[in-house]
Amino acid sequence: MPRIGVRLENDPYLDASEHQSLARLAEEQGYETVWVPEGAGRDSPTLLASMAMVTNRVQLATGILPIFTRTPMAIAMAAAGLSVISGGRFLLGLGVGHRPSVESSQGVPFRRPLARLRETITITRALLRGESITLQGRVFNVTHATLGAGKPEQPPAIYIAALGPQMLELAGEMADGVLLNWTATSYLEQAVERVHAGAKQVGRDPSEIDIAGYVRVAVTDDPGPARRNLQSQVVRYASNPFYGNFFNQTGFRHEMKAVLAAVGQGNHAAAADAVTEEMQDQVAAVGTPEECAAQIEERRKLGLQLPVVAPFTVGNVLQDYRNAIQAFQG
Protein backbone atom coordinates (compact mmCIF):
# COMPACT_ATOMS: atom_id res chain seq x y z
CA MET A 1 0.00 0.00 0.00
CA PRO A 2 1.35 3.49 -0.80
CA ARG A 3 2.31 5.51 2.24
CA ILE A 4 0.35 8.72 2.78
CA GLY A 5 -0.08 11.16 5.66
CA VAL A 6 -2.25 14.21 6.26
CA ARG A 7 -1.68 17.52 8.02
CA LEU A 8 -4.62 18.79 10.07
CA GLU A 9 -4.24 22.44 10.99
CA ASN A 10 -5.11 23.82 14.41
CA ASP A 11 -7.89 25.50 12.46
CA PRO A 12 -10.13 27.77 14.59
CA TYR A 13 -13.00 27.08 12.18
CA LEU A 14 -13.00 23.42 13.25
CA ASP A 15 -14.03 22.28 16.71
CA ALA A 16 -12.55 19.32 18.56
CA SER A 17 -15.20 16.87 17.36
CA GLU A 18 -14.59 17.88 13.74
CA HIS A 19 -10.86 17.38 14.13
CA GLN A 20 -11.58 13.95 15.61
CA SER A 21 -13.88 13.07 12.71
CA LEU A 22 -11.16 14.01 10.22
CA ALA A 23 -8.62 11.85 12.08
CA ARG A 24 -11.06 8.93 11.95
CA LEU A 25 -11.63 9.51 8.23
CA ALA A 26 -7.88 9.48 7.61
CA GLU A 27 -7.64 6.19 9.50
CA GLU A 28 -10.52 4.69 7.50
CA GLN A 29 -8.82 5.76 4.27
CA GLY A 30 -5.64 3.96 5.27
CA TYR A 31 -3.50 7.00 6.03
CA GLU A 32 -0.33 6.20 7.91
CA THR A 33 0.02 9.41 9.93
CA VAL A 34 -1.90 12.50 11.02
CA TRP A 35 0.39 15.50 11.59
CA VAL A 36 -0.63 18.57 13.59
CA PRO A 37 1.47 21.75 13.39
CA GLU A 38 1.91 24.32 16.13
CA GLY A 39 2.59 28.01 15.76
CA ALA A 40 0.03 30.29 17.33
CA GLY A 41 -3.36 29.49 18.82
CA ARG A 42 -3.97 26.05 20.27
CA ASP A 43 -1.16 23.65 21.09
CA SER A 44 -0.70 20.45 19.11
CA PRO A 45 -0.30 17.84 21.91
CA THR A 46 -3.76 18.56 23.31
CA LEU A 47 -5.39 18.14 19.91
CA LEU A 48 -3.40 14.97 19.19
CA ALA A 49 -4.46 13.52 22.55
CA SER A 50 -8.11 14.04 21.63
CA MET A 51 -7.51 12.27 18.30
CA ALA A 52 -5.77 9.39 20.04
CA MET A 53 -8.94 8.71 22.02
CA VAL A 54 -11.06 8.11 18.90
CA THR A 55 -8.58 6.25 16.64
CA ASN A 56 -6.87 2.88 16.85
CA ARG A 57 -4.29 2.49 14.09
CA VAL A 58 -3.20 5.81 12.54
CA GLN A 59 0.01 7.33 13.85
CA LEU A 60 -0.18 10.80 15.40
CA ALA A 61 2.64 13.32 15.03
CA THR A 62 3.61 16.83 16.00
CA GLY A 63 4.42 18.58 12.79
CA ILE A 64 6.20 20.34 14.33
CA LEU A 65 6.70 21.11 18.01
CA PRO A 66 8.83 24.29 18.23
CA ILE A 67 11.83 23.76 20.50
CA PHE A 68 12.19 27.36 21.69
CA THR A 69 8.86 27.20 23.56
CA ARG A 70 9.70 24.13 25.67
CA THR A 71 12.67 22.61 27.47
CA PRO A 72 13.85 19.11 26.49
CA MET A 73 12.31 17.77 29.71
CA ALA A 74 8.93 19.34 28.90
CA ILE A 75 9.12 17.91 25.37
CA ALA A 76 9.98 14.45 26.69
CA MET A 77 7.13 14.57 29.22
CA ALA A 78 4.60 15.51 26.53
CA ALA A 79 5.96 12.83 24.18
CA ALA A 80 5.79 10.20 26.92
CA GLY A 81 2.20 11.14 27.71
CA LEU A 82 1.11 11.03 24.08
CA SER A 83 2.90 7.72 23.55
CA VAL A 84 0.96 6.17 26.42
CA ILE A 85 -2.40 7.68 25.44
CA SER A 86 -2.02 6.59 21.82
CA GLY A 87 -0.77 3.11 22.61
CA GLY A 88 2.62 3.77 21.04
CA ARG A 89 1.33 5.53 17.91
CA PHE A 90 3.00 8.89 18.56
CA LEU A 91 5.80 10.45 16.44
CA LEU A 92 7.76 13.43 17.75
CA GLY A 93 8.35 16.10 15.13
CA LEU A 94 10.67 18.91 16.24
CA GLY A 95 11.80 22.16 14.65
CA VAL A 96 13.42 25.47 15.48
CA GLY A 97 10.63 27.72 14.22
CA HIS A 98 11.46 31.21 13.00
CA ARG A 99 13.16 34.18 14.60
CA PRO A 100 10.27 36.70 14.18
CA SER A 101 7.68 34.50 15.88
CA VAL A 102 10.06 33.17 18.52
CA GLU A 103 11.28 36.58 19.58
CA SER A 104 8.16 38.68 19.11
CA SER A 105 5.46 36.23 20.22
CA GLN A 106 7.37 34.09 22.72
CA GLY A 107 9.77 36.74 23.97
CA VAL A 108 12.64 34.25 23.74
CA PRO A 109 16.00 35.08 22.11
CA PHE A 110 16.49 33.08 18.91
CA ARG A 111 20.05 31.97 19.63
CA ARG A 112 22.07 29.00 18.40
CA PRO A 113 19.12 27.22 16.74
CA LEU A 114 21.22 24.36 15.35
CA ALA A 115 22.99 23.72 18.66
CA ARG A 116 19.70 23.99 20.53
CA LEU A 117 18.04 21.42 18.27
CA ARG A 118 21.02 19.07 18.47
CA GLU A 119 21.05 19.20 22.28
CA THR A 120 17.26 18.98 22.51
CA ILE A 121 17.29 15.75 20.50
CA THR A 122 20.16 14.31 22.53
CA ILE A 123 18.50 15.03 25.89
CA THR A 124 14.95 14.19 24.83
CA ARG A 125 15.92 10.89 23.23
CA ALA A 126 17.86 9.81 26.32
CA LEU A 127 14.95 10.70 28.60
CA LEU A 128 12.46 8.79 26.44
CA ARG A 129 14.74 5.74 26.53
CA GLY A 130 14.61 5.80 30.30
CA GLU A 131 18.22 6.91 30.67
CA SER A 132 19.72 9.34 33.15
CA ILE A 133 21.55 12.06 31.25
CA THR A 134 24.11 14.64 32.23
CA LEU A 135 25.06 17.12 29.52
CA GLN A 136 27.04 20.33 29.70
CA GLY A 137 26.22 21.86 26.35
CA ARG A 138 26.29 25.18 24.55
CA VAL A 139 22.62 25.73 25.38
CA PHE A 140 21.55 23.28 28.10
CA ASN A 141 23.22 22.10 31.27
CA VAL A 142 21.42 19.14 32.82
CA THR A 143 22.56 16.81 35.57
CA HIS A 144 21.18 13.29 36.11
CA ALA A 145 17.94 14.22 34.32
CA THR A 146 15.48 11.35 34.00
CA LEU A 147 11.81 10.60 33.39
CA GLY A 148 12.01 7.76 35.88
CA ALA A 149 8.99 5.50 35.70
CA GLY A 150 7.34 7.95 33.28
CA LYS A 151 9.26 6.72 30.25
CA PRO A 152 7.12 5.20 27.48
CA GLU A 153 7.31 1.49 26.72
CA GLN A 154 8.60 2.31 23.22
CA PRO A 155 10.35 5.65 22.57
CA PRO A 156 8.74 7.54 19.68
CA ALA A 157 10.61 8.18 16.47
CA ILE A 158 11.97 11.72 16.14
CA TYR A 159 11.56 13.75 12.95
CA ILE A 160 13.25 17.09 12.21
CA ALA A 161 11.56 19.84 10.21
CA ALA A 162 14.22 20.98 7.74
CA LEU A 163 14.56 23.33 4.81
CA GLY A 164 18.20 24.40 4.51
CA PRO A 165 21.32 22.29 4.03
CA GLN A 166 22.45 22.29 7.68
CA MET A 167 19.10 21.13 9.04
CA LEU A 168 18.74 18.54 6.30
CA GLU A 169 22.16 17.12 7.14
CA LEU A 170 21.38 17.18 10.86
CA ALA A 171 18.27 15.10 10.15
CA GLY A 172 20.45 12.55 8.40
CA GLU A 173 22.91 12.59 11.27
CA MET A 174 20.56 12.36 14.26
CA ALA A 175 16.89 11.88 13.41
CA ASP A 176 14.67 8.97 12.45
CA GLY A 177 13.11 11.09 9.73
CA VAL A 178 12.90 14.50 8.12
CA LEU A 179 9.77 16.58 7.52
CA LEU A 180 10.08 18.83 4.47
CA ASN A 181 7.90 21.87 3.79
CA TRP A 182 7.19 23.91 0.64
CA THR A 183 9.76 21.79 -1.17
CA ALA A 184 9.66 22.33 -4.92
CA THR A 185 9.72 19.22 -7.09
CA SER A 186 12.85 20.62 -8.77
CA TYR A 187 14.62 20.79 -5.38
CA LEU A 188 13.34 17.55 -3.88
CA GLU A 189 16.13 15.27 -5.05
CA GLN A 190 18.75 17.72 -3.82
CA ALA A 191 17.08 17.89 -0.41
CA VAL A 192 17.09 14.10 -0.15
CA GLU A 193 20.77 14.03 -1.11
CA ARG A 194 21.56 16.44 1.74
CA VAL A 195 19.80 14.17 4.25
CA HIS A 196 21.71 11.17 2.96
CA ALA A 197 24.99 13.11 3.10
CA GLY A 198 24.38 13.84 6.79
CA ALA A 199 23.79 10.16 7.43
CA LYS A 200 26.92 9.07 5.61
CA GLN A 201 29.07 11.55 7.56
CA VAL A 202 28.36 9.65 10.78
CA GLY A 203 28.32 6.17 9.27
CA ARG A 204 24.55 5.72 9.19
CA ASP A 205 22.70 3.88 6.46
CA PRO A 206 20.81 6.63 4.56
CA SER A 207 17.89 4.28 4.02
CA GLU A 208 17.24 4.41 7.78
CA ILE A 209 16.02 8.00 7.57
CA ASP A 210 12.41 8.46 6.53
CA ILE A 211 11.78 11.26 4.00
CA ALA A 212 8.41 12.86 4.77
CA GLY A 213 7.13 16.17 3.47
CA TYR A 214 4.12 18.42 3.36
CA VAL A 215 2.47 18.83 -0.04
CA ARG A 216 -0.12 21.61 -0.18
CA VAL A 217 -3.24 20.19 -1.85
CA ALA A 218 -6.57 21.59 -3.02
CA VAL A 219 -8.91 19.01 -4.54
CA THR A 220 -11.34 20.91 -6.74
CA ASP A 221 -12.98 21.04 -10.17
CA ASP A 222 -12.60 24.83 -10.11
CA PRO A 223 -8.90 25.57 -9.62
CA GLY A 224 -9.12 29.36 -9.96
CA PRO A 225 -10.07 30.25 -6.36
CA ALA A 226 -7.74 27.56 -4.99
CA ARG A 227 -4.79 28.92 -6.95
CA ARG A 228 -5.53 32.43 -5.70
CA ASN A 229 -5.57 31.13 -2.15
CA LEU A 230 -2.27 29.34 -2.80
CA GLN A 231 -0.69 32.51 -4.17
CA SER A 232 -1.68 34.36 -1.00
CA GLN A 233 -0.20 31.59 1.14
CA VAL A 234 3.12 31.78 -0.70
CA VAL A 235 3.19 35.55 -0.24
CA ARG A 236 2.52 35.20 3.48
CA TYR A 237 5.33 32.68 3.91
CA ALA A 238 7.70 34.61 1.65
CA SER A 239 7.27 37.66 3.87
CA ASN A 240 9.12 35.67 6.53
CA PRO A 241 12.84 36.10 5.72
CA PHE A 242 13.52 32.43 6.43
CA TYR A 243 11.05 31.22 3.82
CA GLY A 244 11.81 34.08 1.46
CA ASN A 245 15.44 32.99 1.40
CA PHE A 246 14.42 29.36 0.99
CA PHE A 247 12.26 30.14 -2.05
CA ASN A 248 15.12 32.24 -3.45
CA GLN A 249 17.57 29.39 -3.08
CA THR A 250 15.30 26.73 -4.57
CA GLY A 251 14.64 28.26 -7.97
CA PHE A 252 12.21 31.13 -7.46
CA ARG A 253 14.48 34.17 -7.33
CA HIS A 254 12.49 35.99 -10.01
CA GLU A 255 9.17 35.41 -8.24
CA MET A 256 10.57 36.42 -4.85
CA LYS A 257 12.02 39.66 -6.20
CA ALA A 258 8.62 40.65 -7.58
CA VAL A 259 6.71 39.46 -4.51
CA LEU A 260 8.84 41.35 -2.03
CA ALA A 261 8.84 44.51 -4.15
CA ALA A 262 5.03 44.46 -4.26
CA VAL A 263 4.75 43.72 -0.54
CA GLY A 264 7.11 46.62 0.15
CA GLN A 265 4.71 48.90 -1.75
CA GLY A 266 1.74 47.54 0.17
CA ASN A 267 0.29 45.99 -3.00
CA HIS A 268 -0.62 42.48 -1.88
CA ALA A 269 -2.69 41.77 -5.00
CA ALA A 270 0.36 42.38 -7.18
CA ALA A 271 2.45 40.25 -4.81
CA ALA A 272 0.03 37.35 -5.28
CA ASP A 273 0.05 37.82 -9.06
CA ALA A 274 3.86 37.46 -8.97
CA VAL A 275 3.57 33.85 -7.77
CA THR A 276 3.66 32.18 -11.17
CA GLU A 277 1.66 29.10 -12.11
CA GLU A 278 4.97 27.28 -12.58
CA MET A 279 5.91 28.00 -8.95
CA GLN A 280 2.44 26.96 -7.79
CA ASP A 281 2.76 23.61 -9.55
CA GLN A 282 6.23 23.09 -8.10
CA VAL A 283 5.16 23.57 -4.47
CA ALA A 284 1.54 22.34 -4.45
CA ALA A 285 -1.04 20.11 -6.10
CA VAL A 286 -4.27 21.71 -7.32
CA GLY A 287 -6.97 20.05 -9.37
CA THR A 288 -9.21 17.01 -9.58
CA PRO A 289 -8.56 13.95 -7.40
CA GLU A 290 -6.85 12.25 -10.34
CA GLU A 291 -4.66 15.26 -11.10
CA CYS A 292 -3.63 15.68 -7.46
CA ALA A 293 -2.89 11.97 -7.11
CA ALA A 294 -0.65 12.11 -10.18
CA GLN A 295 1.29 15.03 -8.71
CA ILE A 296 1.76 13.16 -5.43
CA GLU A 297 3.10 10.16 -7.35
CA GLU A 298 5.57 12.40 -9.19
CA ARG A 299 6.99 13.45 -5.81
CA ARG A 300 7.27 9.82 -4.68
CA LYS A 301 9.44 9.08 -7.73
CA LEU A 302 11.73 11.96 -6.71
CA GLY A 303 12.34 10.48 -3.26
CA LEU A 304 9.46 11.67 -1.07
CA GLN A 305 8.77 8.44 0.80
CA LEU A 306 5.89 9.77 2.92
CA PRO A 307 3.89 12.50 1.18
CA VAL A 308 1.85 14.38 3.78
CA VAL A 309 -1.22 15.97 2.22
CA ALA A 310 -1.62 19.50 3.60
CA PRO A 311 -5.10 20.62 2.50
CA PHE A 312 -5.79 24.29 2.06
CA THR A 313 -9.37 25.44 2.10
CA VAL A 314 -11.34 27.78 -0.12
CA GLY A 315 -15.01 27.47 0.87
CA ASN A 316 -16.45 25.05 3.41
CA VAL A 317 -13.48 24.26 5.64
CA LEU A 318 -14.64 20.85 6.88
CA GLN A 319 -15.76 19.70 3.42
CA ASP A 320 -12.52 20.88 1.79
CA TYR A 321 -10.57 18.78 4.30
CA ARG A 322 -12.79 15.78 3.64
CA ASN A 323 -12.40 16.15 -0.13
CA ALA A 324 -8.63 16.24 0.16
CA ILE A 325 -8.44 13.24 2.52
CA GLN A 326 -10.82 11.17 0.38
CA ALA A 327 -8.81 11.87 -2.77
CA PHE A 328 -6.04 9.57 -1.57
CA GLN A 329 -5.92 6.13 -0.02
CA GLY A 330 -3.13 4.36 1.75
CB proximity list for 290: less than 8 A, separation 6 or greater: none
- At residue 222, the pLDDT reads 92
List the pLDDT tens digit at each of the 330 positions of the chain. 799 999 999 888 899 999 999 999 999 999 999 999 998 778 999 999 999 999 999 999 999 999 999 999 999 999 999 999 999 999 999 999 888 788 888 888 999 999 999 999 999 999 999 999 999 999 999 999 999 998 999 999 999 999 999 999 999 999 999 999 999 999 999 999 999 999 999 999 999 999 999 999 999 999 999 999 999 999 999 998 889 999 999 999 999 999 999 999 999 999 999 999 999 999 999 999 999 999 999 999 999 999 999 998 888 899 999 999 999 987
- At residue 54, the pLDDT reads 98
- At residue 314, the pLDDT reads 86
Phi/psi of residue 201, nearest 5 degrees: -60, -30
What is the C-alpha separation between 322 and 26, in angstroms, rounded? 9
- At residue 98, the pLDDT reads 81
pTM: 0.96
- At residue 105, the pLDDT reads 82
Q: What angle do CA 259, 262, 267 make, to 5 degrees?
A: 125
- At residue 292, the pLDDT reads 96
Q: Single out the residue of 61, 43, 82, 75 nearest to residue 145, CA to CA.
A: 75
DSSP sequence for 160-212: EE--SHHHHHHHHHH-SEEEE-S--HHHHHHHHHHHHHHHHHTT--GGGSEEE
Domains of the chain: 5-221+288-326 (3.20.20.30), 222-283 (no CATH)
- At residue 100, the pLDDT reads 79
